Structure 1
Amino acid sequence: MLHLMIAIPAFARMYNVSCKMCHVAFPKLNGFGQAFADNGYVFAGKQGEIYRNLGDDRARTFKELPLAVRFTHYVAASYDGGKAMTDFQSPWSVKFLLGGAPNERINFYAYVIFEKGLPPFFEDAWIDLHGFFGLPFSLTLGQFQISDLMFMRETRLTRSDFYIYKVGPYKITYHRGALLGTPIGDFGVVNGNGLSALNGKYYDDNPSKWFFGHLPLPADFGLFGLWGEDYDTLGNYVRLYRLGLDWRGVFESFYPFFQILVGFDNDTSNLFYGGFFGVDYAPGGDGVVSLLFNYVDAPANSPYRNERLATLALRYSHYVLTNLKVFAEGEGWLFKRSLALTLGVDFAF
């Protein structure tokens, strides 16, 4: 049973522990951090320390607001189509993150992001209910990323993204819906139109929904499937199919992972396929090296053909503090022969 959770610096303050308790290198979680997340943000032996004594056993508030802030600043240079460009992308994003567990069966997580000079908005914003009546189930309601069932984009160590999750008009990133966690896997349903604004009385713009699930397999593999109904911009009915295989491993200081995903709409004439492979090398000092290869392709007659890409990114992160890093990342786009270099600072407290 997987919980869609990310550790934030507020937890280090609340429980008076180092960020290293939960992170290989922030924001990447280690085994303890993942276990803490899967346990619904409950820290065994310390949980009672974070609540105020109000003289009422049925009222529960935190001693301090579980709020964290993350700043990301970039200086970027690129070469594309014979044109060179430099840009001060600072700040690129500022996030205000809030999360915690009011009790052992309820926890929540949300953040507001100021990004790319746009007005602020919520991305993740959900509540998780679990363990009621002693049953081994959890129910998550709100905004979350479907792709988090495989890999959390928010905890990757590169600026380069997991592009296969963002292909075409039917992305498997942020949506509004519900997720049921069970001992055999996780199963969900979402509106299917992302984080669109209210449309009259409804967030959804049509009565159709997307259904999906993720099953854990032996040896840290996972199997993902999605079936959904939607409508394109011309009002035509579309039936969606997605199938994926994911894997992650730990070999001493090396953390490899890969994703394979195949999708089509209505029939295989609207096919795309691809995935990514990455490895993070975190030997335990101040430096972390990350490599990420992305590949997306489609047959020549597919409308997804213009989404094809192959990228290779290499990044070195130097942790000046456990919660502050400077980094240099280069990414090459192999099909269109372009290059991008980013120097940056990432700080959370």
Structure 2
Amino acid sequence: MPRLSARMGGRDLSFAAKAERYVKDLVRVSGDPMPWKAVGATLLAAALPPVICGVFFGKLAIAALIASMSAHLAAKDVRTGSAGLIVFSTGLAGFVCLGRPEMTLLVAPMVGIAAATAGHYGFAKPVIRGLIFWTIFTSQLIPTDQPEAMFLVYCLSMLWSLRVTHLAGLAATIAPEEPASSQYSAIFAAVLAVGLAISVYVGQRHLGAHGFWFPLTFVALCLPPHGQLFSRTWQRAIGTIVGTLVVFLAGLVTTDPWWIAPLGVVALPLGFRILPQSYTGFITCLTITVLAFLNIATPIDTLAFERLATMGLAALMTGVLAAIGALVLWFVKPEALRSLTKDGG
């Protein structure tokens, strides 16, 4: 009996260990949290420009957010000079489309191809990070009657973010990206271009004022390393659902958006704090922040439906396009596909 009990105990322990490992893999609980000093520097670089701009210039704060956040994220991948060039270029692509949704359908695939081409030299991540916020240019949140002021705000916010990121010692702190083969870059370019064209078209015409969430989520899911695509999709989906649920429940307690907005203020630094430990937790906090502030102008039930719908559509489309790309890669360069599978764990 003791031996049987020990075997049963060992089996239970093994099952519990497997379950714990599965949950940790799902939410990626690992590593140390970001130091509060780095959190403060991140907020100073990425959040201060839109806050100041919002106080004095209203909706021009969106341009400040796009520039400062893109610059900070890109600068963590590469040196600030390269990050500035990338963010300025993707910003110009957005300005070309400003107020002209038909141009977006032409520009988006071209920028997607450019991002994949950059991956051939190991620079896909900073370009795609610029695209994550560039997609906001396709929404109705951007005022189109002040292009000169917007361009100035964009450039100044970008320069501020790059400088703070550099002084805080956060520039080029992420492990360098491996250059991709020409075959892989071509397949990734096709996937990214097609996905951007579809998501921008559907987002503009069928998903309301916040249709930019569709291309934004698609681009975020396309970040290298692509071997982690499906696990990252699950993590982002869980974080989005949990964050949306938190704000939705808060909306049931109070209908005053100004009582919900403090949730966003608290969630943003907390999200950056736990980002190295859990991508799921970061997405949860980021979702809370975004919805809490958008709720000031839009009812929370509408926001919740739009956010979950766009997340689901983006995940589905990304999965289909990735499967097609993997099939083509299997025929063209099977060793690259095996490498992806290995990288994905």
TM-score range with shorter-chain normalisation? under 0.3
TM-score, normalised via structure 1 length: 0.24
Whose strand fraction is larger, Structure 1's or Structure 2's?
A: 1
Larger proportion of helix: 2
TM value normalised by structure 2: 0.24
RCO greater where, 1 or 2, for CA within 8 Å and sep 6 or more?
2
